[in-house]
Every structure is written in C-alpha cells, then in structure tokens.
Amino acid sequence: MLRRVDVAFLLTGAVLPALGAFVAVPALQAAGVPREAAVGAVVGLWVGAALLAARGIRSHVRGALDDALTRLDEGLRRGDAAGAVEAIDPVVRPVFARLQSVLAQVEVAGQAIIDRRELQQVIDSMPDSLLVLNQDGVVELANATSARRLGFGGPHEVVGLGLDALAGEVTPGWWQALQADGAFTTRDVRLRSRAGNVVTFSAAARVFERVGSTRSAGVLVARESAAEVNLLTQELAATAERLEVSERFFQDLFDAMEDPITVLSPDFEILQANRQAKLVFGRDLIGRRCYRAFRMRDTPCEDCPARETFAASTSVSVEHRIFGNAITRISTYPLLGKDGQVQAVINHKRDVTKERQLEDLKASFLATVSHELRTPLTSIMGFNKLNIRRLQRFVRPWVAEGPEEVRTALQKALSDMEVMGSEGERLGRLVNDVLDLSKLEAGKLRLAPESFEVLPLVQGAVTATSSLLAGRHLLVLPDVPEITPAAWGDRDRISQVLVNLLSNAIKYTARGEVRVAVVVESKMVRFVVQDSGEGIAPEDLPFIFERFRQAGDNQKGKPAGTGLGLAICKQIIQLHGGEITVESRVGHGSTFAFTVPRADASTRDSLG
Amino acid sequence: MSKRILIVDDDTHIRLLLHRTLEELEGMGVEIHFAEDGLDGLNQTRALQPDLMFLDVMMPHMNGFEVCREVRRDPALAKTHIVVLTARGQTQPPLDLRYAPHEIMTKPFDPDIIVARAAQVLGVSLDFGF
C-alpha cells in the first residue's frame, strides 16, 4: 500500500526532477555551473520545495527559492555563473540541510505512524479508559474504551478535544493537581460525554516528558467509574450484610432450639452444634466424633441412624435408652449437596422420657377411669335391672286387678327404667369406645390376626344388627360371592367395623334397602355397605372419620351413638393395612367400603 | 353340705348388687359370703373352700388375678370355680392357663346372666316364677 510519504516521494523524486533535469539544469550549465552542482541544486530545490510544501512551510521555501532564483537570474544576466551559484548557495544550503532533516523526520514519522497504529490497537484492547493529553489539555491519544465511555463513535472523535470541551472547564482541579504533583493514583475525574452527561472516572494519571521535547503531557488511565465502583461496593456490602443477618438469623434459630442439634460428616465428625448441644455435651463438641462425644464409645454405634441416612438419603428416627430410664429419640435428616448426594447429616435429639411416661400415665389413667366409671355403672344398671325384674315379678301381678292409675304408673315406671337401662348401655359403649380409641391411637391395641371366612362374618354382622330393623321398612341384602377367599385379620375387630357400618346404615335409612356386598380384589377383600338413606352433606364428608363427629348432628331425633364409631373403624382398618372410604349423595344414600388383606396375599406379613 | 359362693369386691354397692342378684339362691340352701379386698378374699377362700367365687380385679392389697393364681395353685381349693369380673382395659389376665380363671365376665354385667351362670355352676335349678 502506498503511504502518503511515498506519494510525496514519487512526486518530488520523479516528476519534478524531470522538469528540473530538462529545464533548470541545462540553464545552469549554460551559465557555467558545473553539472553536478546544477543537478544537485535543482533536485535539492525541487525536492525540498515539494516536501516542505507538504510539511506546510511551502511559503518559506518558495520565498527562499524565489530569492535564490532572482539572484541566479541576476548572476546569469551579468554572465557571472560562479557568482550566481555562490549567490544562491547561502539560500540553497540551509534549505538542503533542512530538507535532509525533514526527510529524516518523514522517515521517523512514517515509522511512527506504523508504531502508532499498533499502539492504537493495543490501547483499544485495554479494558480501562486511556487518554493522553498534551500540556495544553488537548487530547492527543485516546483508546476505544474511553471513547465508548464518553459516548463517542471512536477514539478519533475524542482526539483533539480540549479540556474545555472534555471537562467543561479549562483547568479542572484534577488537572491542576496533576500539574502540581506530577501524578495521582486514585482520584475522581469528571468528564463530559458527547451527550453532555457527567461521567465519573476513578483515574490514575501522571505527567511524562515527551521524547525529543521539553514539553510535558499527561496520561490519564481511568478505571470503571467511581460511581459504578461505589455502587458495586455498596451492593456487595449490602449483600454481605444480608448474608450476615441471614446467617445470624439461622444461627439464632439453631441456637434457640431446645433440643441438641448437630451436623455430622460422613465419618461422624461433628461439623456444627447448636447451643443446646454444647450445653449438654460440652463446649468443645465441634470436630469430635459423635459416638465419642455423645455415647463415650470408641467406634461408631451399631444402631446409628446417621449411617442409614448417609446410605439411603432418608430421614431416620430411633429411640435409645441411654442413661438410666431416660429415653432419647434421635432423628437424622440428610443434607444434600449440589450433586444430590448426602453431604452431611443433621442429628436431632429429643428427650422423650416425659412423653413416654405420659403415655404410660394416660394408659393407666384411662384404665382407672374406665374402672371407676364402670363400677358405679355396673351398680346402676344392675340395680335397675333387678328393680325391673322385681316390679314385673311381684308388683305387676298384684296390681293387675288394681286401679288403672296404679297400673299406668307401674307401666310408666317400667318403661322409664328400660330407658335408664339403654342409656346405661350407651354410657358403657362410650367408655369402651374411648378406651378402644385411645389404645388404637397409642398403638397399644394388639391385633390377633388369623385367617377367617368372610361369609360367616357377614352373616354374624347381619344377625347382630337385626334388632335395629324393628319397626322399619327396610331390607338388608347380603351379597357375598359363592367362592370367596379367606381374609386375614383380627376377626372380632373386623366384625366390630362391619357391625358398626351396618348399624349406621340401618339407623340412617328409614326405608328402602341396605346392601352388604363383598368384592374380591387381587390382594384384598373389599366390604361394601350401601344404603338408600338420607345421605351425608358434602361439608360433613371430609370429617366423617373424625372422632365426636356425627353427620346430621343438628337433626332432630338423631340416632344415639358415641360419635367415635367411625374413628375406631378407621383406626382398625388402617391397622390391618386396609383403607376405609365413603361416598354419599344427599337424598340418595351412602356407601362405606373397607378393605382387609386376603389370607393368601403377602400383605398379611406386615400385621402384628 | 351346703354350697358356698364367695363374693370378693372392694365396692360395697357391687357386693350388694351381687348379693341381691344371687339372693334367691339363698332360699335353695346356698351360702353367700363376702370379702372386701384381695387378701381377705384369699384368706376366706382358704377357710371356706367356696364352690364359686366372683372376683373383682382392681382391689387393695392383692388384685383379682393374683388371688386367682394363689387359689388355683392350691390343690385343696381345686373345686372352686373362679369367675373374674373385669372392666375392659384392665390388666391382662396371666398367659399361663394353669393359673387363669375359669371365666372372665365384663362389667357392667347382666344380673340375669350372673344368676343363671351361678345356678348352672352350683347345679341348682332356678324357677323365675314367670
């Protein structure tokens, strides 16, 4: 590629010398000037003129040349060639010397342009803003970053701008400081963008001496804007503070727990411990092995729940009798890492001694209450029954012939005593139900599972509830397949459930039918009790298996029950690994269904 | 020799109820005796050698099952038929059948059933007079 300097050399080195060679040199030779001198002078003059013109000093050279030519012309006219050359010599020599110097400078400048382009590329790639200003505060060099930060299209748009345009004033404070101190390392420098907005740089700058010149200039290397840096710093500080607050919150939360909680590594090292853990097991807990710290053992405990949590990534809960009668429940929870693997285990200990004692207390309390209720109830009902018997045996025959009001009074007394008897029975059932339910809920009810035939169970339940049918236009229809596999469970308890559902169905159905069906499934036997009764309101359905809930509680003449029957049914069926469900539509009846394992299915293994 | 029934219960009214329930047997030559706690019950059993005893479970000094165990361990008392009257949810009976009661009835009991059972055990016939 042709450089501008090359073009200048082509012009001055080829075209103008040709003119000189064909016009000026012969003229000089004709005047007696030696050829070499004439050629040198002319070439020198033309080249010098051309180049000096290119350097912007054309007028000066032209003046000198005009002067020299005038003198040459005068000398030639006088016929004094030597004089003529001598006359132009003082003019030509310095021009020639200057020309050589200019050529050297052009050479340097050409190289400088190449260097400068490379330099520009280098500084454009800097992430920092760079500005080089001369001593007058005019930008001589800028990089792409500074141009971009100031909103210019490129460095060339920034070069040439003075401080007045760039900073809004000729001598801003930082410029004065730079001139005075020669350098600064961190200082906010506010410059104006092309749009006129203030852009703040956090800048470092120094004054440097120009090579080959005494003039000084400043270099400004500016990093990201202080405002942005400040903002980032503030955000960082805020985040750090939030983190700290959050960490403190969780630490406080951790410490506020009344139970000892620790975090264990896979090799049972205690990584974290809350205040309570340190209080119970010692301040120096962290870093120790849990089996050593908690149980004074030399090797991991064989019943360790953490081991299982590490292996299976599940939470595990065990109860240990550690010291004397104290019972501790240890629960472990997995702490998963980013890869989904268990990194550590949370170990939570709770002293459940009191809970267990309370459970025992509750059981014995219930047994006592049950006994204390039953004993007077036995007396009340027993004496009531004896009185009924006495009245019937001894009084009734005697008053049979007596006045009508005595007979009526006796009949009313007997009838009222029957009510007392049935209410007493109800009270007895309630006591039984409360006792059953509390045993079931405490998991203390022991099932006596066996294989039993389904048909006799259904027939037994139908028989047991037949007395409830008196005075109702109701049909009870058993529907048991001819071949039904035996079921597996506590026969008496399953019978209790079926009788309960059947008596409910009868009690809530004034007329129509109650169907008791058995459906054989792959692993279970399903018992279905379907009635055509009043049905259960949708808002009652979700709570139907809760205790002391009776559908239609507000209804007049509600059937007498304890409100515990269905809760007990649910517990019994769940204990058998089965399920109990209800479907109902008001006005169309209800369907209760429950499942019990088949005797030939594997589910029976899970029963106690 | 007349037949003997021993009623062991710490509750006065239950004793009275059982007495009233069984009193018609007295007219048939059956003696009815009472004990107010377990230990008293055991001593009286040894002294009276009753044919039938009704035993409450929760009593002072000795519970019904303990009395039952001692009575059944004693060969001299082999003829005594033991009916334990229990409330559901009370202490479970001993698993060792050698020392178990002959019968367990649940409170509240039905007087008719009690008297019928007593008559049967003692081998006397009842006429309710209906």
Count how many domains chain A has: 5
Closest-CA residue of chain B to A431: B88
**Listed range (A7-11, A342-346, A395-399, B126-130) with the worst mean pLDDT:** A7-11
Distance from the Cα of A327 to chain B's closest Cα (Å) equals 25
Q: What is the tens place of the pLDDT at every residue in B19-76?
A: 999 998 988 889 999 999 999 999 999 999 999 999 998 888 888 999 999 999 999 9
Distance from the Cα of B111 to chain A's closest Cα (Å) equals 6
pLDDT confidence of residue A104: 78
Last residue of one domain, picked from the residues A351, A378, A405: A351
Q: Same structural domain for residues A402 and A429?
A: yes
Does B114 fall in a domain?
Answer: yes
Strand A129-134: give its sheet, edge to edge: A139-142, A129-134, A216-223, A198-209, A183-192
Does A507 fall in a domain?
Answer: yes
Pairing of strands A487-489, A589-597: unpaired
Q: What is the tens place of the pLDDT at every residue in A220-250?
A: 666 655 556 666 777 788 888 888 888 888 8
Q: Same structural domain for residues A466 and A587?
A: yes
Q: What is the tens place of the pLDDT at every residue in A58-103?
A: 566 667 777 777 777 777 777 776 776 676 677 667 766 776 777 7
CATH number at residue A141: 3.30.450.20
Round to whole Å and give the CA distance between B13 and A408. 31
Q: Which residues of A touch B (CB under 8 A)?
A: 366-368, 370-371, 374-379, 381-383, 385-386, 389, 393, 424-425, 428, 432, 435, 439
Q: Same structural domain for residues A347 and A360?
A: no
Q: Residues B17-38, buried b or exposed e (16+ Cβ, 10 A)?
A: bbebbbeebeeeebebbbbbbb
pLDDT confidence of residue B51: 95
pLDDT confidence of residue A269: 93
Last residue of one domain, picked from the residues A224, A240, A265: A224
CATH number at residue B25: 3.40.50.2300
Q: Same structural domain for residues A148 and A269?
A: no
Could you list the residue range(s) of the whole structural domain that residue B11 is in? Answer: 3-122
ipTM score for this prediction: 0.80
Residues 6 or more apart whose CB falls under 8 angstroms from that of A200 comprise A188, A189, A190, A225, A226, A227
Count how many domains chain B has: 1
Which residues on A lie below 8 Å from B108 (Cβ)?
374, 377-378, 381-382, 424-425, 428
| Interface contact B113, partner A, CB < 8 A | no
Given the structure tokens 């020299």, which residue do they identify? A68
Do B11 and A375 lie within an 8 Å CB cutoff?
Answer: yes
DSSP at A197: -
Do B20 and A379 lie within an 8 Å CB cutoff?
Answer: no
DSSP lists the bridge partners of residue A209 as: A216
pLDDT confidence of residue A45: 67
Do B107 and A377 lie within an 8 Å CB cutoff?
Answer: yes
Do A370 and B108 lie within an 8 Å CB cutoff?
Answer: no
Could you list the residue range(s) of the whole structural domain that residue A482 is in? Answer: 450-606
Does A248 fall in a domain?
Answer: no
How big is the CA angle at A80 (ends A77 and A86), to the nearest 5 degrees?
115
Does B129 fall in a domain?
Answer: no
Last residue of one domain, picked from the residues A394, A424, A441: A441
Does A243 fall in a domain?
Answer: no
Distance from the Cα of A472 to chain B's closest Cα (Å) equals 28
